[in-house]
Structure 1
């Protein structure tokens, strides 16, 4: 977390950050490792079953569409003159024949759709039957010579005790595994070894800061001088002489400009802490510097005091100067302030 930023970045208030990272206790770690060890037998059993289960043929099924199974875009086109009630090409007799043709075509489409649905159901039933047969075959194989062969390999791999060289020696010297046509058995042995030597994956409990728009440091009061948070945009706008509520997106876009800064001069880092002179690096007040003469943080024309970012693990403390002689950064009334004697605020950075 703590390293000197060489590019521009945003600052945001993060008072919800924990004081320290959450860590698993030794009892919690032991429980996770025990559960992982207990699951290894089941994983090996599943591996054996997969090895002995015949592949089931998969059939792609395309359900029928309202317009027929042959094409989802099959349409019945009618003469555009009919929609205007114009009789032609045989008058009412032609219209009657056209109507009968449409009915016949629609009936044919319904039959094709029904046939396609029946075929799909038949294919699904066939797949289910083949899957049941494959599972029955796998069960017989697991209880037969093939299953015994794989379980012998499992026992030998477990006997290697996680020693890779011992496993290689077993593969070289075993009369079954060393044969040219036994690559599948050698691969199986290595798969079992991977399961046996795997370790429990511990959850990542590290705090992950999440920047909120309202907590982001922005220019305040519609100027390029004051800095703070909770800079709320207008809620009402005028349209055709009437006041209407702005959307959430419009309100966010109407907020003060986000402050982007960089270490413009005097950059340093040590033991995870770093600092230097902060310079504005966004369109608003670009090139100015961040400083405070009376505590309230503003942009100024020239360099003032350097700042120090102290890495607290889950957040930063930002000080004007340093802890020995300076003042910590806080949020007071939604404005940034270097406040001597105050409890340091919690801040984090974002640079996309």
Structure 2
């Protein structure tokens, strides 16, 4: 004997996953504002994720309120009509939520590298995402002519509608393809970062957590095919509520995970921010690098007429603090002032502070070559 109702399970999955998804958004905001102090454009997109994700949850609640998860024989005609109305609203809103979440991923990727080719691929992904979103919205809004046939099927004998299976499957496949593009896009960039193999794999796992949402989206195709053939629409939509809740909230958590690494490092005693004991004051957000332009009379710092650099300072910044930092710095800035066991050339330590001096030699071109020692200092007190 089959299940008589899916509503208890659907309510539980929808609200438990929504709690964790929303919590990850607010934790992201906390990390970016108070720990990393690097609020960016992708965080504003994160605000949009919060708004649309809340709207998505309200729609799933209305589905269940009007009887999704129950067999259609148990529903009144008014309940069935209400479900059809909310089904159309959910189509439009579901595509919008996907669009906003994907844009949050892509804007975050712009932080990863200044490489023009990589950024071009990110912008191409944004264009593809917008194109898929517009296509899906047009399909949803013009699936039937006249429009009233969408909300009251069968009342217009001369209505022209898109094939139901095409309407259900094509948007989902397009979203899955865009998800795969977003997952694959940062792999080569992260792999080329100056980090240990273990850390590279860890970063890729954090970013790749979104694969869970893609896998769930693939499983979503099963109830979609069932929705096309089954007359028990309300019961099948109960399954759709469960799958949609899992898919959307896993995607929301995935887009916030890179920022939450900073909170994890603070809790466990790692280094991630410029505030609190044991943390660096620097607020950089790019890969540790030193760039210079040679041969054009310019470089880092100032150059005199004779080509010698005067008082130039090399800049050391980071890519996504809390995601990439050098292994030695992490050991030096363990929260709580743990002792150093690794000898570092040029490092000095007393009872109250740790001072690390890194000497970098820069050769400038001119009438004669001159090595200029560059130093960066990181201070951390107990």
TM range (shorter): under 0.3
Greater relative CO (CA pairs within 8 A, separation 6+): 1
Answer 1 or 2: which has greater helix percent. 2
**TM-score of the superposition, structure 2-length normalised?**
0.19
**TM-score of the superposition, structure 1-length normalised?**
0.21
- Higher radius of gyration, 1 or 2: 1
